[in-house]
Structure formats: C-alpha cells, structure tokens
Amino acid sequence: MSFVTGAAMRSLEEAAFRRGVSAESLMDRAGEGIARRLLDHFPQPGRAVAYIGKGNNGGDALVALRYLREAGWQIALKAAYPETEWGVLPRRKRRELVEELPNALPEGSGPLLLLDGLLGIGARGTLREPLARLAEEMAWLRDSHGAVVAAMDLPSGIDADSGEGRGVVADLTITVGVAKLGLSTPAGIASAGRILLVPLGDLPPPEGSALELFGPDAFPGLLSPRPHDFHKGDSGRIGLLAGSPGMTGAAVLAATAALRAGAGLVTLHVEPEFLPSLAAPMPPEVMVKVSPTPVTDAFSAGHDALVIGPGIANMSKTGQADLLARLAKPHPPAVLDADGLNFLATAGKTALLDSRHLITPHPGEFRRLAPDLAEKDRLAAAVAFVTRHPCTLLLKGARTLVAAPGEATRFNPTGHAGMASGGQGDVLSGVAGAFLAQGMKPCDAASLAAWLCGRAAERALAKGPVTTASDTLDELGGAMRDWQERRR
Ligand SMILES: NC(=O)C1=CN([C@@H]2O[C@H](COP(=O)(O)OP(=O)(O)OC[C@H]3O[C@@H](n4cnc5c(N)ncnc54)[C@H](OP(=O)(O)O)[C@@H]3O)[C@@H](O)[C@H]2O)[C@@H](O)CC1
Ligand SMILES: Nc1ncnc2c1ncn2[C@@H]1O[C@H](COP(=O)(O)OP(=O)(O)O)[C@@H](O)[C@H]1O
Ligand SMILES: [K+]
C-alpha cells in the first residue's frame, strides 16, 4: 500500500466517479471502515464526540459515529458551522443519524474518543476560525481528560503532501483509500500518531510507489499458521553474539525475543570470563556455548541465522577483529545491531555490508555508519545507503523505515513514544533474527519484526503509558495473533 499526494488522491477519486462510483458510497464505506478500526482498538464502548467542519471529512466522522452508536457508544456532535452551511453529503449523513445529537460531552464511562472530522485533504493553509477553536478544545480534552483523538483521513490542518501545518495532534489517524504522503514526513509523524488504513477497492493504490505502508493487509501470508507436521529443525537455529558483563540484559532480551518469535533453537556464544554474568539470567530454553573463540564458533556452527551486537561493547579486541574478518567471508544471514554496527563504523568497514546483512541502527548508529547521509531526509538517506551498501536497512526512529535494494521502502506504522526506553532494540533484533532463521527475505523479516514489536508495545498500553522492553516481550504472542487475524 503506497503513499500518495492530495492531488493524486483526488485523481483516484475522479477515476472512480468516471466509472460510476458515487462519492456517497465512498463516504459510507470510508466511515464504516473507520468505525471498524476504532472498534478493534476500543472493544469496550465509551463516549465518542465528532468534531466536524463543513466538508466531506466531517461526513466520514458522521458515518463512523452512527456505527459507534450501534455498538453501544454514547455519542455527541460539535459542529463548527450551522448545518445549512455544510456540504450535501455531510448533511445527508447527519440526517441518517436521525435524532438530535447533544453537543456536550456525553456522561458515562469508557474511553472518551474525539473524532477529528474538521478537515481532510481539502485543508489549505493555517487552520482558520471557527475550526481552530474546536481543534484547541480537542487538544485541551486530550491533555486534561485523557481523551483519545482519532483523525479522519488526516489530522485536521496538516498539509496532505508535506505534513506541515499546525492543527490537530491525533493519537490515531485512520486514512481512507491510500495513505497520504504528508503522514510519512517528520512533521506529519508528529501529528498523526498511529496510522491505520481503510482500503477501498474503488480507490486502488497506484503501482510503483517508492514508499509503502507496511501492514497485514498489504503483506498477507508473511506469518502463516505452521503446518501440522512442523518440527523444531524447520523453525530455525540462531547463533547469538550478544551481552557482556554490565550488559547481560541485552542478551537475555534478544534471546527471549527470538524464542517468542518462533526460533527453534537459540545458542548464545560467549567467552569464558563472561559466563558467570550471562549464564544465570538466560532463559532455560537458550543454549549457552562457552569458548575462547565465540565468534569463530558462532560463524561455523551451522546456524541458520546470526544475531550480532546487542550489548557486546566489551567484546575482546581479538573477538572484534575476528568478527570483522568473519563478516567478509561466507556466512549465514545476519542481523547486525548496536555495537556490532559501531565496530564496523569504527573500523571503517561499512563497505563489508551486503545482501546477507540486515542492519538495525537507531539514528545515532546510522550517523556513525554514514555521517554524510545523516542530515538528509530519512527516506532519501535510507535509499542512498542501500544503494551504496546493498544490505537491508531497518532505520529506527519514531517511525521505522525498511529499505533494501530493488524494493520499495517500507514505513512501519506501529509503536508509540512510550517505547523510547532501553532494550526495545534488543527485542527487535531477536525477533528479526528468528524470521531470518526461518528463511524469510531480510526486508520481510525486518518489516515484520518492526510491526510486531510496535504492535506488542501498543497492546502493552493497557498497563500504562510507558512500555518497557519486557512489556513488549510479554505481548509479542498477542501481536502475532493480531497480524494473523489482520485486524490492525
Ligand atoms: N471526495 C470523496 O469522494 C471522498 C472524500 N472523503 C473524505 O472527504 C475529505 C475531503 O473532503 P472535502 O473535499 O470536502 O474537503 P475537507 O477536507 O472536508 O474540507 C474542505 C472545507 O474546508 C475548508 N477549509 C480549507 N482549509 C481551511 C482552513 N485552513 N481553515 C478552515 N477551513 C478550511 C474549505 O472552506 P473554504 O476555504 O472553501 O471556505 C472547505 O469548505 C477527505 O479527506 C476524506 O475524509 C471520503 O469520504 C471518501 C470519499
Ligand atoms: N517515539 C517513538 N515512537 C515509536 N517508536 C519508538 C519511539 N521511540 C523509540 N521507538 C522504537 O523503540 C525502539 C528503540 O530501539 P533502540 O533505540 O535501538 O533501543 P535500545 O538500543 O535501547 O534497545 C526502536 O524500534 C524504535 O523505533
Ligand atoms: K481530519
């Protein structure tokens, strides 16, 4: 599923109209799809208030409101203009709600959801009154009452192409037909929150897009149920070079994540002096192999994939040299993370990277690998990097990008700011390693791992606004189910 400009979206709509599709039927399906996604996210009924302008964006919110009411939600409406000034379709959608709607916050319990239907792709320039006042009211309810803001199509007031503009800051943005390009820019990311897509068969995404929204609708079949006669040899064997004294947690998190994502066997390779600190906290399912040459052992043990880097800052100098030498020779596919990447950068060996390598830098690690690209736009930098070094790059950040030679770059919509804590990256590399070991293409392994870790962290929000790496681990199984059920 690609990203399009506002103008390209209008062209897709025009093409649908020429084929005889009505704007009203698009709006009905858009509003229903938005409500379905909201009901997936909020299974317990609560209170929903639609904030609408006079355009069709408000129509989407009114249709969604009707479905929420059917599901037992208390509803209310805050309209910026008298009904006589609204467009034809929103007026019709208002009549389909039949009863008069209160314009005060509904009483009762459950989540307070604000449907932002002030402006969609029709937004031009800074949000004007009376819309600006309603946007401020939403922001106030979000800050002071724990309200959740769900934007219809786009957060109101942001530009569909650039994502620039001060307007509504949403927790979720449910975009219709095809995701708008502005949602993928740093400014758009800061306003949009979690992006969900309502695909409409009559608005097919254009082919050949450079950026794709990653998710279960666009990539079905990546996590199919296992055949009944599956055995642990089919699940993949992973060799792990991770952890050192003071950084044992990184190895535990990566190993546990690999197991939870379905790896058949995980072996941690360590130097003898690291054993006392690393063996005890390891989960019992992990094999710990001790030798003076753990790097050589890991590379020659016949593993299906390697995970190299979490917490290995204290690896011996001979170990580091062995690692760099081994990476240049034939070896199984490998995830390279954290200090594994720092060693490469420090030694000036980034040119070793090729199609066997899935690298997972955060922005700081990326800067060390490619200082000249770090100031560029993230998408351009990611593409330039894999053109220079033909590996798979998972570039972390508030929204992760996955780039690989010859592939459209993928944009991961899951995860939240509560994940900004140590150890999340170790979990991600373990999960990606498990998928590599099962023979998945590196760019699929990377994208799926990012999606699942972000989704697991979203599930953990039920416990509170901050998600630790252990919370993410606990929810990985549920995230895998969510993917398989294609509900997110
Ligand atoms: N078309 C379709 O088939 C489908 C469309 N769909 C939905 O419709 C959305 C697009 O709807 P839309 O074209 O009616 O525009 P919309 O975003 O509601 O706003 C236009 C109004 O905003 C006003 N306005 C503009 N800038 C402003 C500002 N800065 N500050 C204040 N006001 C401002 C402008 O007023 P004017 O400047 O003309 O006075 C105009 O009246 C789309 O995003 C999707 O959600 C889906 O249902 C699928 C089918
Ligand atoms: N604001 C945010 N929104 C969404 N995801 C985030 C945010 N901050 C961090 N993350 C995710 O959390 C993970 C942190 O990884 P990393 O920085 O490598 O952590 P560590 O090295 O401490 O394990 C990344 O996958 C990143 O995309
Ligand atoms: K909106």
Residue nearest to atom 21 of ligand 1 (CA): 55
Residues 63-100: tens digit of each pLDDT: 999 999 999 999 999 999 999 999 999 999 999 998 88
Which H/E stretch holds residue 308? strand 305-308
Residue nearest to atom 29 of ligand 1 (CA): 127
Interval between CA 348 and ligand 3 midpoint (Å) = 47
Backbone angles phi, psi at 206, to 5 degrees: -65, 150
Least confident of 323-327, 373-377, 429-433, 473-477: 373-377
Reported confidence tier of residue 208, pLDDT bands at 50, 70, 90: confident
Residues 271-307: tens digit of each pLDDT: 988 888 887 788 889 999 999 999 999 999 999 999 9
Residues with CB under 6 A from ligand 2: 338, 362, 396-398, 400, 415-417, 419-420, 422-426, 428
Question: Is 120 marked within a binding site?
Answer: yes
Choice between 106 and 454, residue whose per-residue pLDDT is larger: 454
pLDDT surpassing 80 at residue 419: yes
Report which of 378, 316, 376, 324 is spatially closest to residue 350, judged by C-alpha positions.
324
pLDDT surpassing 80 at residue 190: yes
DSSP category for residue 335: E
pLDDT surpassing 70 at residue 210: yes
Architecture of domain 3-209: 3-Layer(aba) Sandwich (3.40)
pLDDT surpassing 80 at residue 487: no
Residues 301-334: tens digit of each pLDDT: 999 999 999 999 989 899 999 999 999 999 999 9
Q: The complex's ipTM?
A: 0.91
pLDDT, averaged across the chain: 94
Asked whether 56 and 117 are in contact (CB, 8 A), the reply is no
Reported confidence tier of residue 191, pLDDT bands at 50, 70, 90: very high
Q: What's the confidence (pLDDT) of residue 488? A: 66
User: Could you give the 3-state DSSP secondary structure of residue 30?
Assistant: helix
Sheet of 172-176, strand order: 74-79, 47-52, 112-117, 148-152, 172-176, 194-198
257 Cβ neighbours under 8 A, 6+ residues apart: 426, 427, 428, 429, 430, 431, 434, 473, 476
CA 234 to chain centre: 28
Alpha-carbon Rg for the chain, nearest whole angstrom, is 24
CA distance 44 to 54: 30
Residues 252-268: tens digit of each pLDDT: 999 999 999 999 999 99
Question: Is 59 marked within a binding site?
Answer: yes
Domain 232-485 = CATH 3.40.1190.20: yes
Report which of 421, 447, 420 is spatially closest to residue 435, judged by C-alpha positions.
447
Interval between CA 362 and ligand 2 midpoint (Å) = 7
Interval between CA 334 and ligand 3 midpoint (Å) = 42
Asked whether 307 and 429 are in contact (CB, 8 A), the reply is yes
User: Which atom of ligand 1 is nearest to 63's Cα?
Assistant: 47
Interval between CA 158 and ligand 1 midpoint (Å) = 12
Interval between CA 357 and ligand 2 midpoint (Å) = 20
Q: Is the CB of 265 under 6 A from ligand 1?
A: no
Backbone angles phi, psi at 224, to 5 degrees: -70, 155
Interval between CA 17 and ligand 1 midpoint (Å) = 17
- What number is the average pLDDT over the span 119-145? 95
Report which of 398, 348, 396, 390 is spatially closest to residue 369, judged by C-alpha positions.
348
- For residue 118, the ligand closest to its alpha carbon is 3
pLDDT surpassing 80 at residue 116: yes
User: Could you give the 3-state DSSP secondary structure of residue 196?
Assistant: strand
Asked whether 120 and 152 are in contact (CB, 8 A), the reply is yes
Residue nearest to atom 9 of ligand 1 (CA): 57
Angle at 437 between CA 353 and CA 268, to 5 degrees: 85
Look up residue 305 and give its two tokens: 């994939």
User: Which atom of ligand 2 is nearest to 338's Cα?
Assistant: 21
- What number is the average pLDDT over the span 360-389? 95
pLDDT surpassing 70 at residue 357: yes
- What number is the average pLDDT over the span 207-217? 90
CA distance 374 to 378: 8
Q: Is the CB of 63 under 6 A from ligand 1?
A: no
User: Which atom of ligand 1 is nearest to 59's Cα?
Assistant: 47
pLDDT surpassing 70 at residue 433: yes
Domain edges within the chain:
3-209, 232-485
pLDDT surpassing 70 at residue 1: no
Tell me what percent of the residues of the chain surpass a pLDDT of 70.
Answer: 99
CA distance 287 to 309: 18
Asked whether 176 and 156 are in contact (CB, 8 A), the reply is no
pLDDT surpassing 90 at residue 207: no
Asked whether 152 and 123 are in contact (CB, 8 A), the reply is no
Look up residue 310 and give its two tokens: 């979490």
Report which of 396, 418, 397 is spatially closest to residue 465, judged by C-alpha positions.
418
Asked whether 77 and 49 are in contact (CB, 8 A), the reply is yes
